[in-house]
Structure 1
Amino acid sequence: MSFFRQTSRKLLKMVWNDCSQCHRMCTLSEAAQSIKIRNIHEGESGILANSLALEGCRAKTTDLKMFHKLDPSGYYMSLTDSGEVIGTIGGIRYSDSFGYIGFRHVDEEKKEQGYEQGLLNVALEHLKDRWLGIEVKPDEIETFQKLGFITAWHNGCFKTEKTPFFPELGQNPSIHSIPEGPLGRVVEYDTDIFGVDRRRFIMSWTKTEKKGTSLLVTENDKIMGYGVVRPLQETKCHRIGPLYALNTAVAQVLILALISVIPDEALYITAPLTNPSFIRLLTNDLRLEQINETVRMYTKKDHEIPTHKMFVIVDTNVG
């Protein structure tokens, strides 16, 4: 797409590769002087946790490595001349046609000095000619509109310090643990909703250590929905996502079953605000509190993502 190349010329004055060090040097402003941007290697994946700024919701390093494996060459960090890490970004190539920008984080004091623009530029260059998605703060909408992104929907991040327990759900015959074997049907279901085949991600993400934390709901052998809850870096703290379902009733069955496995623990959920009945379930019945709002944007209008089936998402940029 031509606007990516135009954006590249605007944001970046000088880019070159140093193959021996696997990094890019970007000169963007006198204040930033020589900005070093290089790839984040798998062993450094823990650095990406800094992009998840909400207190308590940082992902485990094992999960960050899982994201890193989706596109090992698509993660970057920005450093000062002294080697201090001051920013990260992920430009994840899910397919030849779709890419996602996540794990964006730059030290607040450095944002106006060109560091944020430099990271965004290398991510856009890595994902060039793809349909792109990104999660932004409400006050960033205008900035990304100028880069060709279009608002798709708003998400709310919800939190509770203590989850309830519903023991009777363990007897529901329509709820099944996602098997550790072939997950083809779950992948197909996810692809129908997300719009892109995330086979590698789904097959890793749904393999959880604790029984009952990766579930699907079926009816007459047809998948009606699935959901996953995974532990976060902080002790006794979890996050649900994704949770996709045919309707709110199925989503309710799934979420109650998932949280019953982690009673009395803190929980984070990022949910599209386009499903008001599900939001009422979270806030009125389960007593979760909305603590943040983000905006999903894409580089084309006709993304055709059925948000009415997308109840909880995996957000790589909360805060």
Structure 2
Amino acid sequence: MADKQYCIQVMTPEQLDLAIDWAAQEGWNPGLYDANSFRCVDPNGFLVGLLDGEPIASISVVKYGDSFGFLGFYIVKPEYRGQGYGLQIWKAGLEYLAGRNIGLDGVEAQQVNYKKSGFKLAYGNIRYEGQGGGNAPAVEGLVDLSDLPFERIDAYDQSFFPAERTEFLKRWIKQEGSYAIGIERDGQLAGYGVIRPCRSGYKVGPLLAENAELAEELFLALKAKAKSSDLVYLDVPEVNKNAVAIAEKYTMTPVFKTARMYTKSFPDLPLDRTFGVTTFELG
């Protein structure tokens, strides 16, 4: 019997949908309509490993700007693990991002392996799970993001991410089934958040605000868009104690953690104003 042929190539849109299905099977609970937002960032940054034409491995290695990249969707189908296929697509992905500072949100169990490839731990993220519903606060300054010029939202967002992500953000805040709101103070945007439907319940992300009080108001307004029977998830940087306190105040419980790691310097990001991560897959 001839050796099977393994090749690595850029994903088709259908293969990205398949990788998102794999992520769901791993318990990562991707959004229902994430693919369009993901693909627009870097269409060449999604790789698939094919064994005799069958997709068996995936990785996303998305380029942002000239010097940053983010790695995600590193999955090998269970029956093909431990046979070297994952390592090959991992190496291909790192080669694609050569010379850049690379970030990832990895499961804690893989930290040791990531360190072997030069990744260093910056901080942990915690995924919290709770119930939707409740009443939206009667807060002055709450505004639907669709009523604001996109340039204002983009300008606010830029300080929270290591590189420009304008095209991604345009699509992310207008995902089907999502709700995106901001909060204004003194005529300036002082925070914004998005809630979107996922395989299970809804996820809030990003949740960005100038202080904990504004973040809590945004969170309650977003959570109120889900039914009380729906699960709601919030991914918070563990180092933001106010974000952790908001999750715990509303009886959310930790369901798993990830390790945010980088290959080079840690970006100087305002984690004290980051109350919810946008997405573990693309940062």
Is the shorter-chain TM-score for this pair beyond 0.5, marking a shared fold?
yes
- 1:71 aligned residue (37, 42, 53): 42
- 2:207 aligned residue (217, 222, 243): 243
In 2, Cα distance between the equivalents of 1:250 and 1:88?
A: 38
Is 1:159–1:269's contact at 8 Å kept on the other side of the alignment? yes
In 1, Cα distance between the equivalents of 2:232 and 2:25?
A: 15
**1:292 matched residue in structure 2:** 256
In 1, Cα distance between the equivalents of 2:28 and 2:89?
A: 25
1:263 counterpart SS class: coil
> Are positions 1:175 and 2:142 aligned together?
yes
**2:129 matched residue in structure 1:** 159
Give the 4+ runs in structure 1 shifted more than 6 A. Answer: none
- Normalised by the length of structure 1, the TM-score is 0.81
- Larger relative contact order (CA 8 Å, sep ≥ 6): 2
- Give the percent of matched residue pairs that are identical in Structure 1 and Structure 2: 26
**Matches for 1:1-319 after TM superposition, within 5 Å:** 34-49=5-20, 50-53=22-25, 55=27, 57-60=29-32, 62-81=33-52, 83-160=53-130, 162-167=131-136, 169=137, 171-179=138-146, 182-209=149-176, 213-234=179-200, 237-264=201-228, 265-283=230-248, 285-317=249-281
- Normalised by the length of structure 2, the TM-score is 0.90
1:100 counterpart SS class: strand
Q: Which amino acid aligns with 2:124?
A: H
In 2, Cα distance between the equivalents of 1:210 and 1:35?
A: 38
Aligned residues: 278
2:243 counterpart SS class: helix
Q: CA deviation at 1:103?
A: 1.4
1:153 counterpart SS class: strand
In 1, Cα distance between the equivalents of 2:111 and 2:166?
A: 30
Q: Which amino acid aligns with 2:132?
A: T
Is 1:89–1:102's contact at 8 Å kept on the other side of the alignment? yes
Is 1:56–1:233's contact at 8 Å kept on the other side of the alignment? no
In 2, Cα distance between the equivalents of 1:180 and 1:69?
A: 23
Is 1:57–1:268's contact at 8 Å kept on the other side of the alignment? no
Instruction: Tell me: CA distance 1:298–1:143, structure 2 relative to 1, closer, same or farther (3 Å).
Output: same
Structure 2: any 5+ residue segments left out of the alignment?
none
In 2, Cα distance between the equivalents of 1:195 and 1:317?
A: 15
In 2, Cα distance between the equivalents of 1:104 and 1:52?
A: 13
Q: Which amino acid aligns with 2:243?
A: F
Is 2:68–2:162's contact at 8 Å kept on the other side of the alignment? no
Q: CA deviation at 1:231?
A: 0.9
**1:20 matched residue in structure 2:** none
In 2, Cα distance between the equivalents of 1:250 and 1:54?
A: 33
1:120 counterpart SS class: helix
**1:22 matched residue in structure 2:** none
Instruction: Tell me: CA distance 1:130–1:35, structure 2 relative to 1, closer, same or farther (3 Å).
Output: same
Is 1:42–1:65's contact at 8 Å kept on the other side of the alignment? no
Q: CA deviation at 1:79?
A: 2.3
Q: CA deviation at 1:107?
A: 2.2
